[in-house]
Chains A and B, each alone.
Chain A
Amino acid sequence: MRLILQLSRKNLAGRPGRAAAMIALAAFLAFAIFAGSVVSMSLQRGLGTLENRLGADIIVVPASAKSQFNVNDILLQGNPGYFYMDREKLDKIAEREGVAAVSPQLYLASMVASCCSSRLQLIGFDPETDFTILPWVRESYRGEIGLYDILVGANVTVSGDYTLRFYGIDCRIVGQLEKTGSGLDNAVYANWETIEKLIEASEEKNLNKYSVKADSVVSSVLVRVADGYDIEQVLNDINLRVRKVTAVRASNMISGIAENLTRLSGVISLLIAGVWLLGLLIMMIAFSMMTQERKREFAVLRAAGASRRQLGALIFAEALIVCCAGAVFGIALAALIVWPFSTAIGSALGVPFLLPSLPTMLALMAATLAACAVAGVLISSISAVRIARQDTGLILREGN
Chain B
Amino acid sequence: MGTQTKSALTISACLLILAVLLAAGMATFLGPCAAHEGGSWMTCHWAGQAVMSLGVLMGLFGVIRLLLGEKARAAMDWATLAAALVTLRMPGGVIATCSMAAMRCNAVTRPATLVICVLMIALCVSDLLLARKKG
Binding site for B on A (CB under 8 A): 112-113, 115-118, 120, 154-159, 164, 185-186, 336-337, 340-341, 343-344, 347
Contacts and interface: CB of A to CB of B under 8 A. Distances in A.
A336 B107 contact: no
Sort A-B residue pairs by CB-CB distance and give the 3 closest, nearest first: A340-B111, A115-B99, A155-B101
Contacts of B118: 336
Given A115-B100, A156-B101, A157-B100, A337 B115 contact: yes
Contacts of B107: 341, 343-344, 347
Contacts of B36: 112, 117
A318 B33 CA distance: 48
Interface of B: 33-37, 42, 98-103, 106-108, 110-111, 114-115, 118-119
A10 to B, nearest CB: 15
15 contacts: A112-B36, A115-B99, A116-B33, A116-B42, A116-B99, A117-B98, A156-B101, A157-B98, A157-B100, A185-B102, A336-B118, A340-B111, A341-B107, A341-B115, A344-B111
Contacts of A343: 101-102, 106-107
A343 B100 CA distance: 11
A347 B107 CA distance: 9
Given A336-B118, A343-B107, A344-B108, A116 B98 contact: yes
A155 B102 contact: yes
A92 to B, nearest CB: 37
Contacts of A159: 99
A158 B102 CA distance: 14
B110 A340 contact: yes
Of A154, A156, A164, which is in contact with the most chain B CB atoms at under 10 Å from its CB?
A156
B113 to A, nearest CB: 9
A112 B127 CA distance: 47
Nearest to A343: B107
Nearest to B41: A117
Contact of B101 (A112, A185, A336): A185
Contacts of A158: 99
Contact of A340 (B34, B100, B114): B114
A117 B102 contact: no
Nearest to A158: B99
Contacts of A115: 98-100
B58 to A, nearest CB: 18
Given A116-B33, A347-B107, A164 B99 contact: yes
Nearest to A119: B37
A156 B99 contact: yes
A157 B43 CA distance: 15
A156 to B, nearest CB: 6
Contact of A117 (B101, B103, B106, B115): B103
Nearest to A114: B99
